[in-house]
């Protein structure tokens, strides 16, 4: 007896996203055809274009940006509309340009988002820290310096300096001996 894979597992499979988007596109085209020539929702055609541009790169989004208006153009030819062929061609070209620009913009936003996601690593949660030495307890119950822990778990780096209060507290006698310092 074969073990059945739950539906949610199929839906989360990223390799199947193009198949889902093709099915979505076919449903939208079917609805566009069923609605007839006088009820148009070209904004719905942007949905698969934008999703393909976001998840499967610009080439696929551009492919849909060009092919969907062409399919819509053939629908219009089949419906025997009162518009001339030239008007339908201009309308199709405008759709292609708008959809292509939209696909490009979506792809750029996706690329920027991916770059930012890779660039930023955020520490989250509660960190168990010693109130005296400021060491942090790791998952394996060892204690490491704060700087080491943050450097290992993020892309932050440290440079050390001395704040004015600690400078006065620990180096006060040396700072007061400096020439040119005004004494009150």
Which pLDDT tens digit goes with each residue over 77-120?
888 888 889 998 999 999 999 999 999 999 999 999 888 887 76
pLDDT at residue 3, as a whole number: 64
Mapped onto helix, strand or coil, the DSSP state of residue 129 is: strand
- Please say if the pLDDT value at position 64 is more than 80: yes
pLDDT at 41 over 80: no
Q: What's the pLDDT band for 9 if we cut at 50, 70, 90?
A: low
- Residue 52's CB: how many other CB atoms inside 10 A? 27
Are residues 72 and 20 in contact, defined by beta-carbon separation less than 8 angstroms?
A: no
Neighbours of 153 (CB within 10 A): 14
Percentage of residues in the chain with pLDDT exceeding 70?
A: 86
pLDDT at res. 160: 82
What separation, in Å, do the N-terminal and C-terminal C-alpha atoms of the chain show?
A: 92
Which letter, b or e, does each residue of 55-85 get, where b requires 16 or more Cβ atoms within 10 Å of its Cβ? bbebebbbebbbebbeebbebbeeeeeeeee
- Please state the rounded mean pLDDT for residues 55-59: 81
Q: Crossing angle of helices 85-119/57-78, nearest 10°? A: 160
pLDDT-wise least confident of 2-6, 12-16, 27-31, 111-115: 2-6
Domain ranges of the chain: 7-119, 136-176
pLDDT, greater one: 22 or 123: 22
Q: Please tell me the predicted confidence (pLDDT) of residue 173.
A: 81
CB atoms within 10 A of CB 15: 6
pLDDT of 144 above 90: yes
Measure the CA–CA gap between 37 and 148, rounded to whole angstroms: 66
């Amino acid at each position: 007896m074969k073990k059945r894979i739950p539906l949610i597992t199929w839906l989360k499979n990223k390799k199947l996203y193009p198949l889902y988007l093709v099915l979505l596109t076919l449903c939208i085209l079917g609805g566009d055809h069923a609605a007839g020539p006088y009820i148009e929702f070209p904004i719905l055609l942007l949905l698969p274009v934008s999703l393909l541009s976001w998840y499967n790169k610009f080439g696929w989004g551009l492919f849909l940006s060009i092919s969907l208006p062409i399919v819509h153009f053939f629908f219009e030819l089949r419906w025997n509309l009162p518009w001339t062929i030239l008007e339908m061609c201009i309308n199709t070209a405008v759709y292609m340009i708008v959809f292509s620009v939209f696909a490009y913009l979506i792809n750029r936003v996706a690329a920027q988002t991916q770059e930012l996601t890779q660039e930023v690593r955020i520490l989250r949660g509660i960190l168990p820290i010693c109130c005296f030495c400021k060491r942090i307890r790791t998952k394996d119950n060892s204690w490491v310096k704060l700087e080491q822990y943050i450097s290992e778990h993020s892309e932050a780096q440290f440079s050390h300096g001395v704040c004015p209060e600690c400078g006065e507290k620990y180096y006060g006698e040396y700072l007061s001996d400096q020439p040119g310092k005004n004494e009150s």
